[in-house]
């Protein structure tokens, strides 16, 4: 499995190649802080599962708050452009999906609306988003993993995705807090919920990509 830092016209980031040398692609979007070790480890896990995984560095000052409408639009377009460039790599032999965490989870959902290239999105405990719904979701599939009590905040965005033609499945993990997937934060990490959410995410990506 190969790992490297790469640059595109839109951004730079961490790229992980599967042992086979090729596969469908996944863009891994962090909470706010760029491709920190936890996010790189997730990219490595996707690569081990057979995906070409790219974690872009979206921590630039003007893009550091993707939950806000203006920055969210700019960041979503950035990710959409990255999807096109990633798909052009010789290692990518399938389609492209995106997975995000926290504010990055919201961005994963918004980016899929901006790009015809992105056909699947998985959002882990996404931040609440504006009620105005996205477009461009026909034929796309989405999984949303919510911490306990987190569904009401994302319901407007989920409803908007459905109205735009997307297929959405929402899961809630009882007793969990936001960041329950982050094993670098033992105070909130939930091993059982994280394992279940990971399995459901891989199922989505393998079916759709």
Domain ranges of the chain: 2-208
- Global pTM reads 0.88
- Give the pLDDT confidence score for residue 80 in this predicted structure: 86
Residue 12's pLDDT band (cuts 50, 70, 90):
confident
pLDDT above 50 for 1: no
Cβ(183)–Cβ(195) below 8 Å: no
pLDDT above 50 for 77: yes
Architecture of the domain whose range is 2-208: 3-Layer(aba) Sandwich (3.40)
Taking CA 197 as the corner, what is the angle to CA 123 and CA 5, rounded to the nearest 5 degrees? 60
Q: What is the mean pLDDT of residues 77-104?
A: 91
Distance CA 39, CA 7 (A): 17
């Amino acid at each position: 499995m190969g790992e490297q830092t790469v640059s595109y016209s839109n951004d730079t980031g961490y790229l992980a190649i599967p042992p086979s040398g090729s596969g469908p692609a996944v863009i891994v979007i962090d909470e706010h802080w760029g491709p920190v070790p936890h996010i790189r480890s997730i990219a490595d896990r996707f690569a081990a599962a057979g995906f070409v995984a790219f974690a872009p560095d979206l921590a630039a000052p003007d893009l550091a708050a993707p939950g806000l409408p203006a920055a969210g639009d700019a960041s979503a377009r950035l990710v959409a452009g990255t999807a096109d460039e990633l798909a052009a790599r010789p290692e990518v032999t399938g389609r492209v999906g995106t997975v995000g965490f926290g504010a990055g989870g919201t961005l994963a959902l918004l980016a899929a609306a901006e790009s015809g290239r992105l056909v699947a999105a998985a959002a882990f405990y996404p931040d609440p988003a504006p009620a105005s719904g996205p477009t461009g979701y026909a034929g796309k599939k989405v999984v949303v993993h919510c911490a306990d009590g987190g569904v009401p905040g994302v319901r407007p965005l989920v409803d908007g995705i459905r109205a735009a033609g997307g297929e959405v499945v929402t899961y809630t993990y009882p007793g969990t807090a936001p960041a329950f997937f982050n094993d670098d934060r033992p105070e909130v990490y939930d091993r059982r919920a994280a394992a279940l959410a990971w399995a459901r995410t891989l199922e989505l990506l393998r079916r759709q990509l």
